[in-house]
Structure 1
Amino acid sequence: MSLRFNLLKTSEKSLRLGKLISIKNEQKIILDTPNCLAYTGRGCVPHLTPDNLHNIPLVEAVNVTLEHFIDVQPPPSTQFPDGIHKFLNFEEYLVFIDVRDSGNLKPVSNNTDKYVSVYTCHGVRQVMSDSYIEYMNIYKPDVFASLADKITDEVPSLKRIKKSVDRTLKWLDDALNNVKVGIHVFGVLTGHNNREERIRSAQETAKRNVSGFVLNGNFLGNTSRERINILKSSLDNLPSNKPRLTYGLGAPEDILLGVSEGIDLFDTHYAVKMTDAGHAFTFSLDVKNDLDSSKNQKTINLWNTNFCDDTQPLLVGCQCYSCQNHTRAYIHHLLNTHEMLASVLLMSHNLFHYTIFFKNIRESISQGTFFSKAEQFFKIYGDGFKQEKQEKEMIDSSTIILKN
């Protein structure tokens, strides 16, 4: 399997437009960037069957988490001889595997030089570096993230942060030296909130023969601006010719800030979170075409009784299956009767809408209109973030960043 990243366009303001191309058994998958990897739980996109997922045409890649499979070791899925693509019915997608759940990174007991602790439905388990590489050689994903000592402490010491960087680099070397040919490795950048250690992690990882980089935005501050400022220490020290994947930046304003700093790939856990809450996406980068923008809402809450007799689709003009076939009133009814179909229809819409949002971002970069549209986005939807003082400060700061 071959994997290459073609950087098509860059700008002095860090904007990037590219293509991540995977070729395996004469099958070519082209992932235009900036883009997203569909979040999965226990091997499937939450609430969707493979048929549902196939109806969302812009989904080209999925993010699978070993943490969801490792209740016992070795995981029973490693006994399947044909690899993770066929086991999970993801043969048409680029499959990326990481150890821990990027969307729900729970603090667990401390890691050691020999293993990483993970949180499973049957309690805490430990993953050894050699075991992890063995599983990846069996699964044969397109790409996997190297084992990493991710810090979940609220206030880690400098000694703890340095140890995290050292362990992660050692485990990266183990992966690169022992992975089978054709399986590609993304190096994970650590350093938590320490600028010097983040720079060291980025520079040392960039010296290795990695196919890309993973940055974790979780536990790095309460606002988008705080997280981006910390991640920027890593981003500024990476080569431009390899893709960057980031966790913890899921809301649309997070994505716009991340794209403006040169991030290529994001996860979709935010879409899952909003679906579970009964919300449907209505935001748009192209404000002129967004009929709901006058309400300054990124989402609508389908639990709201105002929708009990609303015969409009979730979003007027949306081409997803849910909007083409069902109404707000019907989905409101399904939620109140606790029907599983409510989550299926909401997730179908939200994931479809999310991928369209990324498509619009790519088009705006190509046309040179990204920053003007992003600034307009913050103006239109800014009032919806006034629930907390921190969120309001984040919007003001974000607009300044985008202007610069």
Structure 2
Amino acid sequence: MKFAVKAWSSGRARAGVLQLGSCPSPIETPALLLSTRKACPLSIPPDLLPSLPSPDSHLLHVSSLHFLEGISPQTISDIGGLHKMLGLPGHVFVAIARDSVQCLPEWNSTNNWERLSRLPVAQVKPVELNDGHILIFQNVGGGSVFGSVVGGSSVQERERCAQEVASRSVSGYWIGGFGLGESMDERPALLNAVTDILEEEKPRLVSGLGLPEEVLQGVSAGIDIFDSTYIYHLTLGGFALTFPLDGVETYVSAFQLTNIGSDQTKINLRATIYRKDTSPIVENCNCYTCQNHTKAYINHLLNVHEMLAQILLEIHNTHHYLGFFRSVREAIKSGNFEQFRLKFSGSKRYHLASEAAVACM
């Protein structure tokens, strides 16, 4: 694995390039790590994966917790690794030792957690699922090891952990313990305390920051890769991302265009207002869904509980959110990241304040 920072903006925000294993093209950062279910994208079939932006969509999160049932790690290894088993030679699997199954409803049962608590640590090693790319915590069979930086809501504990990890021979850093109830106001101090200590020339991956505002907050602190289930939960709820992607100057006007009962970053396609709407989710969006289907069709699919609705929504939401990350990178490269962040966050707050004022009239 090779990583290099190419541009800085507004102090800590940085754009870089990550070259990883079998991925034929370098991945630009800040980047999004896509959620999977047993290493497969949650709702996107393999034949439609190429429709997503490449190589931005080639970083896939994988958790060994998903493999406690079914095919064993040894069987995966005998086949030749996840890449060969899944037919995804150009993708990179990122094994993270965290509670990533929280996004999978079927795992929220007492029996599964009792089974997991009795397993030896060796049976849930993330490295056993990979074959020579990003690995977390253990250096087995090659690959790149990321050191874990935690510490809860204590700035002192995070600093102590970061200092210890920075003294080790690791290829990068995984920053965990976020998205567990801390406020947006608490995060900057916790993130900055860590990134001020970690080496600049190594990539930083964070779990738990998924909303656009949270991503921007992480980028402000110098985070490079974001592991989140935001797209999954958004899609599950029937929501589609709609905020503009073509530059900071369009944000204010776009957020004030309509009032359809949302925060103007997304729309609820279950709503009856879209029953006869024959326009795409986002005009001029070149994702597979917007190029081939309408809001009315997806509204119908959702209302009849057709699984195709989630497939089409996840394709659009993934495509759109990867576009958001591209806009973030462009803002950093042009030296306008802070303006971009303030425009995005400020415009959303303006819309919410306007909605509240209307509701009180």
What's 1:64 paired with? 62
Shift of 1:236: 1.8
Letter paired with 1:191: G
Note closer, same or farther for the CA distance 1:123–1:48 as it changes in structure 2 (3 Å cut): farther
Is 1:143 aligned to 2:134, yes or no? yes
Structure 1 unmatched ranges of 5 or more: 107-117, 147-174, 390-404
In structure 2, C-alpha distance between the alignment counterparts of 1:88 and 1:348, rounded to whole Å: 19
Give the secondary structure class of the aligned counterpart of 1:191.
Answer: coil
Is 1:37 aligned to 2:28, yes or no? no
Q: Determine if contact 2:10/2:337 at 8 Å carries over to the other structure.
A: no
Is 1:200 aligned to 2:196, yes or no? no
Shift of 1:221: 3.3
Is 1:82 aligned to 2:80, yes or no? yes
Shift of 1:132: 4.7
Give the secondary structure class of the aligned counterpart of 2:308.
Answer: helix
Give the secondary structure class of the aligned counterpart of 1:230.
Answer: helix
1:25-55 alpha-carbon deviations (Å, 9 max, x no partner):
xx63411000111111222111111122221
Note closer, same or farther for the CA distance 1:138–1:347 as it changes in structure 2 (3 Å cut): closer
Q: Determine if contact 1:71/1:121 at 8 Å carries over to the other structure.
A: no
Letter paired with 2:15: L
Shift of 1:386: 6.2
1:243-301 alpha-carbon deviations (Å, 9 max, x no partner):
11111111101111111110000124101110000000012352545685223501000
Q: Determine if contact 2:3/2:17 at 8 Å carries over to the other structure.
A: yes
Give the secondary structure class of the aligned counterpart of 1:187.
Answer: strand
**Higher relative contact order, chain-length normalized (CA < 8 Å, sep 6+):** 2
Give the secondary structure class of the aligned counterpart of 2:116.
Answer: strand
What's 2:242 paired with? 282
Shift of 1:231: 2.7
What's 1:392 paired with? none
In structure 2, C-alpha distance between the alignment counterparts of 1:255 and 1:354, rounded to whole Å: 11
Letter paired with 1:323: C
Shift of 1:138: 6.2
Q: Determine if contact 1:276/1:343 at 8 Å carries over to the other structure.
A: yes
Identity among equivalent pairs (%): 35
Quick one: which of 318, 325, 342 aligns to 1:358?
325
What's 2:45 paired with? 49
In structure 1, C-alpha distance between the alignment counterparts of 2:112 and 2:30, rounded to whole Å: 31
In structure 1, C-alpha distance between the alignment counterparts of 2:118 and 2:351, rounded to whole Å: 42
Q: Determine if contact 1:70/1:125 at 8 Å carries over to the other structure.
A: no
Q: Give runs of aligned pairs for residues 253-268 of structure 1, distance below 5 A.
A: 253-268=213-228
Quick one: which of 295, 303, 310 aligns to 1:336?
303
Q: Determine if contact 2:204/2:223 at 8 Å carries over to the other structure.
A: yes
Note closer, same or farther for the CA distance 1:78–1:103 as it changes in structure 2 (3 Å cut): closer
Give the secondary structure class of the aligned counterpart of 2:79.
Answer: coil
Give the secondary structure class of the aligned counterpart of 2:210.
Answer: coil
Give the secondary structure class of the aligned counterpart of 1:284.
Answer: coil
1:59-89 alpha-carbon deviations (Å, 9 max, x no partner):
1211111111123795464453301222233
Note closer, same or farther for the CA distance 1:60–1:105 as it changes in structure 2 (3 Å cut): closer
What's 1:111 paired with? none
Note closer, same or farther for the CA distance 1:318–1:33 as it changes in structure 2 (3 Å cut): same
In structure 1, C-alpha distance between the alignment counterparts of 2:351 and 2:163, rounded to whole Å: 39
Quick one: which of 143, 148, 163 aligns to 1:188?
148
Shift of 1:101: 3.7
Q: Give runs of aligned pairs for residues 208-223 of structure 1, distance below 5 A.
A: 208-218=168-178, 220-223=180-183
What's 1:394 paired with? none
Note closer, same or farther for the CA distance 1:227–1:283 as it changes in structure 2 (3 Å cut): same
In structure 2, C-alpha distance between the alignment counterparts of 1:309 and 1:252, rounded to whole Å: 29
In structure 2, C-alpha distance between the alignment counterparts of 1:101 and 1:198, rounded to whole Å: 20
In structure 1, C-alpha distance between the alignment counterparts of 2:289 and 2:72, rounded to whole Å: 40
Structure 2 unmatched ranges of 5 or more: 105-109, 357-361
In structure 2, C-alpha distance between the alignment counterparts of 1:186 and 1:59, rounded to whole Å: 21
Letter paired with 1:86: K
Q: Determine if contact 1:145/1:185 at 8 Å carries over to the other structure.
A: yes
Letter paired with 1:258: G
What's 2:359 paired with? none
Q: Determine if contact 1:34/1:263 at 8 Å carries over to the other structure.
A: yes
Give the secondary structure class of the aligned counterpart of 1:48.
Answer: coil
Note closer, same or farther for the CA distance 1:217–1:190 as it changes in structure 2 (3 Å cut): closer
Q: Give runs of aligned pairs for residues 3-402 of structure 1, distance below 5 A.
A: 3-11=1-9, 13-24=11-22, 28-57=24-53, 58-71=56-69, 75=73, 77-78=75-76, 80-102=78-100, 104=102, 120=112, 123-126=115-118, 128-133=120-125, 136-137=127-128, 139-146=130-137, 175-176=138-139, 179-180=140-141, 182-218=142-178, 220-285=180-245, 286-289=247-250, 292-294=254-256, 295=258, 297-383=264-350
Give the secondary structure class of the aligned counterpart of 2:233.
Answer: helix
Shift of 1:100: 2.7
Shift of 1:104: 2.4
Q: Determine if contact 2:149/2:173 at 8 Å carries over to the other structure.
A: yes
The normalised TM-score by structure 2 is 0.86
In structure 2, C-alpha distance between the alignment counterparts of 1:105 and 1:229, rounded to whole Å: 27
In structure 2, C-alpha distance between the alignment counterparts of 1:93 and 1:240, rounded to whole Å: 25
Note closer, same or farther for the CA distance 1:287–1:71 as it changes in structure 2 (3 Å cut): same
RMSD of Structure 2 on Structure 1 (CA)? 2.7
Query: How many residues are paired up?
Result: 341
